[in-house]
């Protein structure tokens, strides 16, 4: 069993996938911080191309992570909660299938088993939403307690970043600052 870093126990991990809207994730991060969360951004390797990493690091005060640690590096603290936004077709299907070939997926693979709340905000086109594999993945994740929001194919404008933070357990009354959010 791993040791949880007490100081970081309530950190919200925001996992960013390689969707066209990913560059706007700063809006979600700012909203989460406003609601009292410390935020750690984790990007899939493909998502790095879409992000202003320096701006996100300035916003969070933490290095954006995208790869597994080296065996010699210390184990990072366990997240208090995880948001996946934007969540791609690829990452949603891999999460449901139990594939852990990126650091982001490794975090997701363990989260349900550790009782860590996970909110998924999909950004998936109608064509991909219509696929049986995707529908199965969403149903399987929901059956495991993962909160998959019903906002498919968010456009470049108006992607509902705020819905993800609002869906976090114990955070419906946003605006609470400091401390560790209840779960």
Ligand X SMILES: Cc1cc2nc3c(=O)[nH]c(=O)nc-3n(C[C@H](O)[C@H](O)[C@H](O)COP(=O)(O)O)c2cc1C
List contacts with ligand X (CB under 6 A): 17-20, 44, 46-47, 88-91, 102, 123-124
Nearer to ligand X, 107 or 171 (CB): 107
Q: Which residue, 26 or 36, has its beta carbon nearer to ligand X?
A: 26
Q: Are 114 and 80 in contact (CB under 8 A)?
A: no
107 in Cβ contact with 50 (< 8 Å): no
Taking the least distance from each CB to ligand X, the nearer of 10 and 50 is 50
Q: Shortest Cβ distance from residue 45 to ligand X (Å)? A: 7
Query: Cα separation of 21 and 35, whole Å?
Result: 22
Residue 102 backbone class (left: φ over 0; alpha: ψ -120 to 50; beta: rest): beta
Q: How far is the CB of 16 from ligand X (least distance, A)?
A: 8
Reduce the DSSP state of residue 28 to 3 states and report it. Answer: helix
Question: Given the complex with ligand X, which of 4 and 129 has the nearer CB atom?
Answer: 129
Give me the least distance between CB of 134 and ligand X, in Å please: 9
Shortest gap between Cβ of 7 and ligand X (angstroms)?
Answer: 29
Q: Would you say 51 and 17 are in contact if contact means Cβ atoms under 8 Å apart?
A: no
Q: Which is nearer to ligand X, 9 or 101 (CB)?
A: 101
Stated length of the chain: 183
Beta strands, E only, 44-136: 81-87, 118-122
Q: How far is the CB of 109 from ligand X (least distance, A)?
A: 14
């Amino acid at each position: 069993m791993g040791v949880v870093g007490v100081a970081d126990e309530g950190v919200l991990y925001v996992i960013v996938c390689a969707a066209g809207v990913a560059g706007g994730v700063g809006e979600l991060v700012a909203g989460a911080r406003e609601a009292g969360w410390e935020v750690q951004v984790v990007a899939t390797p493909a998502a790095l191309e879409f992000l202003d990493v320096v701006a996100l690091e300035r916003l969070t005060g933490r290095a954006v992570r995208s790869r597994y640690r080296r065996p010699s590096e210390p184990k990072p603290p366990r997240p208090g909660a995880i948001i996946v936004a934007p969540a791609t077709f690829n990452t949603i299907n891999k999460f449901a299938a139990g594939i852990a070939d990126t650091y982001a997926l490794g975090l997701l693979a363990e989260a349900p088993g550790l009782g860590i709340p996970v909110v998924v905000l999909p950004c998936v086109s109608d064509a991909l939403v219509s696929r049986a594999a995707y529908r199965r993945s969403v149903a399987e994740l929901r059956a495991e307690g993962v909160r998959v929001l019903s906002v498919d194919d968010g456009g470049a404008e108006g992607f509902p970043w705020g819905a993800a933070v609002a869906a976090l357990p114990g955070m419906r009354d946003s605006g609470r600052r400091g401390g560790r959010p209840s779960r």
